[in-house]
Amino acid sequence: MMDLSGRPQRLLGEGLLASATSHPEKVAVIVEGEPYTYSQLLKAVLCLKAALQSRGLMRGDRVAIYMDNTWPCIVSVYAVLLAGGVFLVINPQTKSEKLHFLLENSDARILLTDGHIATVFVPVVQSISTVEHVIYSGVLKLSLDDDTGFAHFDTVISEHAPSEQFAQVIPNDLAALLYTSGSTGNPKGVMQTHQAMVFAAWSLIEYLRLSPSEKIMLVLPLAFDYGLYQLLMTIKLGATLIVERSFTFPAQIYNRMLEESITVFPGVPTIFAMMVATNRKKKIVFPSVTRVTNTAAALTASMIPELKQIFPNALIYKMYGQTECKRISYLEPELIDSKPASVGKAIPGTELFLLSPEGKAVEHGEPGILYVRGPHVMAGYWKQPETTARMLKDGLLPGERILCTHDWFHMDDEGFLYFEGRSDDIIKTRGEKVSPLEVENVLQEIPGIKEAAVIGVTDETLGQAVKAFIVVEESMTYKERQLKKMCLANLENFMVPQSIVCLAEMPKTQNGKIDKKKLIKI
């Protein structure tokens, strides 16, 4: 095996190699109650890596992972990395049209997926020439006329011996494409290199004060970068990750947290709001938890005291980030009461500053656009040079590029950041980004809908709630429930509007465009 002793980690997959060498019999992950050691994880990864290489996977080739939070999904992430590929994790709720776009846009050669969503991925794969192989777990819920190129995950693992033939990858090479919603309606593939993701993970580990003894709970999807980094940090540390598919059944999660003596609980405001609601009816307490982390929307000040009751021994971290650089800032947990409205300062090893739209420095207390400088900044958007140019600007050094977040903040005299607002119309709900245009396009495909407009409205639990407005032909009538069901057929759950309002006509600007500022007041 590759000898990593005495040198720092350079590539993302090396975290697994180091931890499996140091403590092979330690439990790496517990997936829905089933434990797997580091040696078991490494063996499965090396077998799948060999299978990918035997199917022609070359350095830099993209591999799509379209799976639930499962053992095969975890194995797949590291197998792609050690084979020299570039992985993209796709939310298993993703419907066929977006799946088609993601596979085609990324030029994915191999799809790793779950058999129970075959009715979605099989027709898509059969319509795309770039996908050459499909490896699926579980039962394939669809009969195939031609199963050439299809193989079962367990069969693939058993047919290949563990291979230590590693691709010649360097830290500047891409490790992942992290797709995030864009203003054009199609997702943007954020290009992240090995060195950027290694740096980000270690920076997070540092400020969260994590150690190899941690037991980290994962109820967020691995397709969400916040969920993905829980896996990456755990494996780097040699800690243990307790994995559940979702937070759909809270009572089951609570039992697991107590059984496993969880020490770190990452969540989003939607999850914490559900926990607070449960606590008001029947007290719940998790004394073993020493870290609670939150991102996406901010935690409300009223929620903090109740979270302290639920997690009496925990440090509570508020954080702010963007997929384009993973994490931007964090608030030291000791300051959560004295600076409840702040999202803190730059994560270790990075720098933040505010500029006016004209590029001039702003005074403390004055609003400005946030810029991010550091090794964690993305390489750009996959196949989107113009959009990349909008986000990556010339830096302080010749040839350096820094991230322009296009979000407005102000900074107090001590250098702490306070969020003011977004400069685009992307909606952040449940920790996910939603493109209004993408939802509008789906609504306008419904027969009888003449116009559709989608906005984000402030919501204490969700951060922002997706709200839609439509104008319908006189001959048509729809119930809100019907429209939501139609949207669900083409959108992930979190993108479906929380409410849909039917108007006689849309408010318009002088140029004839829909006036979304007026819609906010309706």
What is the band of 3 on the pLDDT scale with cuts at 50, 70, 90?
Answer: low
Q: pLDDT value at position 184?
A: 63
Q: Comparing 274 with 333, which gets the higher pLDDT?
A: 333
Report the range of poorest mean pLDDT among 130-139, 341-350, 511-520: 511-520
Q: pLDDT value at position 6?
A: 64
- Quote the distance between the C-alpha of residue 359 and its chain's center: 30
CB distance 82 to 13 below 8 Å: yes
On the question of pLDDT at 301 being above 80, the answer is: no
Q: pLDDT value at position 141?
A: 83
Report the range of poorest mean pLDDT among 30-44, 297-311, 465-479, 505-519: 505-519
Q: pLDDT value at position 1?
A: 63
CB distance 192 to 164 below 8 Å: no
Q: pLDDT value at position 50?
A: 97
Average pLDDT score, the chain: 93
The verdict on domain 14-195 having CATH code 3.40.50.980 is yes
DSSP assignments along 416-450, one per residue: -EEEEEESS--EEETTEEE-HHHHHHHHHTSTTEE
On the question of pLDDT at 8 being above 90, the answer is: no
What is the band of 2 on the pLDDT scale with cuts at 50, 70, 90?
Answer: low
Q: pLDDT value at position 297?
A: 67
Matching residue, tokens 């995950």: 153
Report the range of poorest mean pLDDT among 26-30, 106-110, 137-141: 137-141
Both tokens of 341, joined, read 């409205």
Strands 368-373 vs 380-381: parallel, antiparallel or unpaired: unpaired
Q: pLDDT value at position 68?
A: 97
- CATH number of the 427-519 domain: 3.30.300.30
The verdict on domain 247-422 having CATH code 3.40.1400.10 is no
Distance CA(63)–CA(110), nearest Å, equals 5
On the question of pLDDT at 466 being above 90, the answer is: yes
On the question of pLDDT at 414 being above 90, the answer is: yes
The 10s digit of each residue's pLDDT in 177-226 is: 999 986 667 899 999 999 999 999 999 999 999 999 999 999 999 999 99
CB distance 139 to 116 below 8 Å: yes
Tell me the CA distances in angstroms from 474 to 477, 499, 502, one per residue in order.
8, 21, 12
Domain span(s) for CATH 3.30.300.30 in the chain: 427-519
Q: pLDDT value at position 296?
A: 67
| Burial (CB count within 10 angstroms: exposed 0-12, middle 13-18, buried 19+), residue 231 | buried
Q: pLDDT value at position 198?
A: 98
Q: pLDDT value at position 511?
A: 59
Q: pLDDT value at position 5?
A: 60
Please give the span between the terminal C-alpha atoms of the chain, in angstroms, as a whole number. 63
How many helices (H) and strands (E) the chain has is answered by 15, 27
On the question of pLDDT at 4 being above 80, the answer is: no
CA dihedral over 136, 138, 141, 146, signed as positive or negative: positive
Q: Average of pLDDT values for 19-35?
A: 97
Domain span(s) for CATH 3.40.50.980 in the chain: 14-195
Distance CA(431)–CA(233), nearest Å, equals 19
| Burial (CB count within 10 angstroms: exposed 0-12, middle 13-18, buried 19+), residue 302 | exposed
DSSP assignments along 314-363, one per residue: -EEEEEE--TTTS--EEE-GGGTTTSTT--BEEPTT-EEEEE-TTS-B--
Q: pLDDT value at position 435?
A: 85
0.85 exceeded by pTM: yes
Distance CA(73)–CA(381), nearest Å, equals 24
CB distance 178 to 187 below 8 Å: no
On the question of pLDDT at 160 being above 90, the answer is: yes
On the question of pLDDT at 100 being above 70, the answer is: yes
SS (H, E, C) 186-201: CCEEEEEEHHHHHHHH
The 10s digit of each residue's pLDDT in 319-354 is: 999 999 999 999 999 999 999 889 999 999 999 999
Specify the amino acid at residue 5: S
Report the range of poorest mean pLDDT among 229-238, 295-304, 437-446: 295-304
Distance CA(293)–CA(430), nearest Å, equals 15
Residue 280 backbone dihedrals phi, psi, to 5 degrees:
-70, -30
Q: pLDDT value at position 183?
A: 62
Domain span(s) for CATH 3.40.50.12780 in the chain: 247-422
Distance CA(75)–CA(28), nearest Å, equals 12
Distance CA(136)–CA(155), nearest Å, equals 10
The 10s digit of each residue's pLDDT in 468-501 is: 999 998 888 899 999 999 999 999 999 999 999 9
Q: pLDDT value at position 474?
A: 82
Q: Which residues of 47-81 are buried (b: 16+ CB within 10 A; e: fewer)?
A: bbbbbbbebebeeebbbbbbbbbbbbbbbbbbbbb
Q: pLDDT value at position 510?
A: 61
Q: pLDDT value at position 432?
A: 82
On the question of pLDDT at 422 being above 80, the answer is: no
Q: Comparing 520 with 394, which gets the higher pLDDT?
A: 394
- The residues, ordered by sequence, that sit 6+ positions from 8 with a Cβ below 8 Å of its Cβ are none
